[in-house]
Amino acid sequence: MVTPEHSTDRLPEALQQPIDSVLEHLWLSEQLAHNTLEGYRHDLSKIARRLQAAGLDWLSVDSVDLAAAVFDAHEKTSSQARALSACKRLFAWLQEYGHRPDLPTTHLHAPKQGRHLPDIISEAQIDALLAAPDTASSHGLRDKALLELMYATGLRVSEAVQLTLSELDLQQGLISTIGKGDKQRLVPLGEEAVYWLQRYLAEARPRLLKGRACDAVFVSQKKGAISRQLAWMIVNRHAETAAIRHLSPHGLRHAFATHLVNHGADLRVVQMLLGHADIGTTQIYTHVANERLKQLVAEHHPRG
């Protein structure tokens, strides 16, 4: 049987007791090797301390908070996968013995080897992209406002081109959008995006419409609201000017989320802003952040 950790290292009973119980259960029922059980103990204790710091325990944590505890952007994906495996064992035991009715691990998935990650767009590249449009022209000012909004909010390209004036509240710095599944969400705008939207709406949009009525925020000179295809062309054109290869509107969405995670944003917040129904979809950005950390070490460490 696994020997318990020294008493001075023990967690509060609500966190420690389930760990001890599930390890004893696994030892008795599956005869797991000592090293395997010790590995589970290490990983579960690590996650428990993160839950403790957040004021949570094994019975109160939901899938979003558990994902935030498991998918630490500073850890290797292999460490995250091991921690998730240990958590699945513990929550399965809690459910089997009636301590919890649900499994918060159901929609959490370990990062896979060879998993495709979004291309990493640096903040310097984004700065170059946003500086590319010629804001002295009506089209350039529109493009600048569109790029600023997409990077500031992480909107899907379809959400950006369908945005209407009534969904834009520049005084409060908010937009309301309808995403997948016809779900409405509010997304805040930063000061920079608000500034360029105000300029575009006051100066460029009236010149592009030439007196025509249109509810869409982003318009063209000929057809009213811009299309998804035109939005793609706008992003691609200015990305080429900024010497960024293969940047799509969805790449701006990835950059928005990745940069938030890099700066310490909670995964729950990123999930809400992106409009993801499943936290498992959002967790990819912790893996992107991991890759960025590795890249920074390789570039700047003397033995990288």
DSSP code string of 73-87: TTS-HHHHHHHHHHH
Output the pLDDT for position 5.
Answer: 34
Amino acid occupying residue 73: A
Could you count the other beta carbons within 10 Å of the beta carbon of residue 33?
10
**Which three-class secondary structure state does DSSP give residue 1?**
coil
Domain count, the chain: 2
For residues 83 and 162, membership in a common domain is answered with no
Q: pLDDT digit string (tens) for 150-203?
A: 999 989 898 999 999 999 999 999 998 887 767 778 888 989 999 999 999 999
Domain boundary among 60, 77, 96: 96
Question: How far apart (Å, rounded) are the C-alpha atoms in residues 3 and 217?
Answer: 64
Q: Is 192 domain-assigned?
A: yes
Instruction: Assess whether pLDDT exceeds 50 at residue 139.
Output: yes
DSSP code string of 34-56: HHHHHHHHHHHHHHHHHHHHTT-
What's the rounded mean pLDDT across residues 65-84?
87
Backbone φ/ψ region at 180: left (φ over 0), alpha (ψ -120 to 50), beta:
beta
Backbone angles phi, psi at 240, to 5 degrees: -65, -40
- Catalytic option among 156, 205, 254, 287: 156
- Is 180 among the residues known to form the active site? yes
- Catalytic option among 89, 259, 276, 287: 276
- Catalytic option among 41, 142, 238, 253: 253
- Catalytic option among 49, 112, 180, 212: 180
How far apart, in Å, are the Cα atoms of 294 and each of 49, 57, 83, 123? Answer: 25, 32, 20, 16
- Is 250 among the residues known to form the active site? yes
- Is 100 among the residues known to form the active site? no
Question: How far apart (Å, rounded) are the C-alpha atoms in residues 8 and 267?
Answer: 32
Higher pLDDT, 22 or 263: 22
Output the pLDDT for position 281.
Answer: 58
Burial of 189 (0-12, 13-18, 19+ CB in 10 A): buried
For residues 133 and 259, membership in a common domain is answered with yes
For residues 176 and 281, membership in a common domain is answered with yes
For residues 91 and 149, membership in a common domain is answered with no
For residues 174 and 273, membership in a common domain is answered with yes
Q: Which two tokens stand for residue 21?
A: 């119980």
Instruction: Assess whether pLDDT exceeds 50 at residue 2.
Output: no
- Is 285 among the residues known to form the active site? yes
Q: Is 294 domain-assigned?
A: yes
Q: pLDDT digit string (tens) for 223-267?
A: 789 998 999 999 999 999 999 988 888 888 888 888 887 777 777
The enclosing domain of 291 has a CATH number of: 1.10.443.10
Using the CB atoms, write b or e for 272-294: b if 16+ within 10 Å: ebbbbeebbebbbbbbbbbebee
Output the pLDDT for position 119.
Answer: 64
Backbone angles phi, psi at 188, to 5 degrees: -75, 150
How many helices, marked H, and strands, marked E, lie in the chain?
A: 14, 5
**If you compute the radius of gyration of the chain from its CA atoms, what whole number of angstroms results?**
24
Question: How far apart (Å, rounded) are the C-alpha atoms in residues 201 and 141?
Answer: 9
Backbone angles phi, psi at 99, to 5 degrees: -85, -25
Range of the domain at 281: 123-299
Indicate the pTM of the whole model: 0.57
Could you count the other beta carbons within 10 Å of the beta carbon of residue 53?
9
Higher pLDDT, 120 or 144: 144
For residues 29 and 75, membership in a common domain is answered with yes
Q: Which two tokens stand for residue 1?
A: 């049987």
For residues 206 and 142, membership in a common domain is answered with yes
Q: Is 53 domain-assigned?
A: yes
Question: How far apart (Å, rounded) are the C-alpha atoms in residues 261 and 264?
Answer: 5
What's the rounded mean pLDDT across residues 289-302?
54
For residues 148 and 273, membership in a common domain is answered with yes
Q: How confident is the model at residue 4 (pLDDT cuts 50, 70, 90)?
A: very low
Q: Is 117 domain-assigned?
A: no
Q: pLDDT digit string (tens) for 200-233?
A: 999 999 999 998 999 999 999 887 899 989 999 9
Output the pLDDT for position 56.
Answer: 95
- Catalytic option among 50, 88, 185, 250: 250
Q: Is 111 domain-assigned?
A: no
Q: Is 21 domain-assigned?
A: yes
How far apart, in Å, are the Cα atoms of 11 and each of 57, 60, 250, 258? Answer: 11, 16, 43, 33
- Is 156 among the residues known to form the active site? yes
Question: How far apart (Å, rounded) are the C-alpha atoms in residues 272 and 224?
Answer: 31
Residue holding tokens 């997304």? 187
For residues 52 and 132, membership in a common domain is answered with no
- Is 253 among the residues known to form the active site? yes
The enclosing domain of 74 has a CATH number of: 1.10.150.130
Out of 97-111, 181-195, 276-290, which region has the weakest mean confidence (pLDDT)? 276-290
For residues 75 and 127, membership in a common domain is answered with no
Q: Which two tokens stand for residue 55?
A: 């004021």
pLDDT mean across residues, the chain: 85
User: Are 189 and 201 within 8 A, CB to CB?
Assistant: no
